[in-house]
Amino acid sequence: MQHDKLEHIFTLQAAFDDALQQSRDLSHITREQWIQRETLAMISELAELIDEVNFKWWKNPKPVNEAAVKGELVDILHFLVSMCLKMGMTAGELHALYTQKNRENFDRQRGDTQKDPEGYKA
C-alpha cells in the first residue's frame, strides 16, 4: 500500500509535535500561542531563506547553496504543517483548499473574477 506523501508529512509532523510537547512539557501553551510562535519561527526561517539567495544588492553575490535553500524550504514546511495540524486541518483538507485557491488564482489571472477583475488584468 502506497502512503500519500502529504499525509505522510502530516503524520510525521504530528508525531514530532506530540513528542516535543511531552518532552518539553508544553501542554500549557494555547493553540493561539502555538500559532503565534510558529508564525514567528516561520518568519525566522523565511529570513534565513532570503539570506541564501543573495537579496542584498549592496553585497557581492555568493554562489547559491541549493542544498541550504532546500533545507530552509523544508524548515518552513515543518512550521506550516504544524500550524495546519493545530487548526485541525488534515492533509486532505489542505489539498482541497489549495486546489480551490489555485483555481481561483488562475481565474483571477484570466480576469474571470467578481473580486476586482480590473485589478488582476494582465
Instruction: Give residue 23's pLDDT.
Output: 97
- Asked whether residue 120 carries a pLDDT value surpassing 80, the answer given is no
Distance (Å) of CA 39 to CA 7, 11, 110, 112: 22, 20, 32, 32
Amino acid identity, residue 75?
D
Domain ranges of the chain: 5-89, 91-122
| Cα angle, residue 111 at apex, residues 105 and 112 outer, rounded to 5° | 75
What pLDDT band is residue 1 in, cutting at 50, 70 and 90?
A: low
Fold of 5-89: Helix Hairpins (1.10.287)
- pLDDT value of position 117: 72
What are the cell numbers at 61?
553575490
Residue 101: predicted pLDDT: 96
Q: What is the mean pLDDT of residues 20-43?
A: 97
pTM here is 0.89
Average pLDDT over residues 38-58: 96
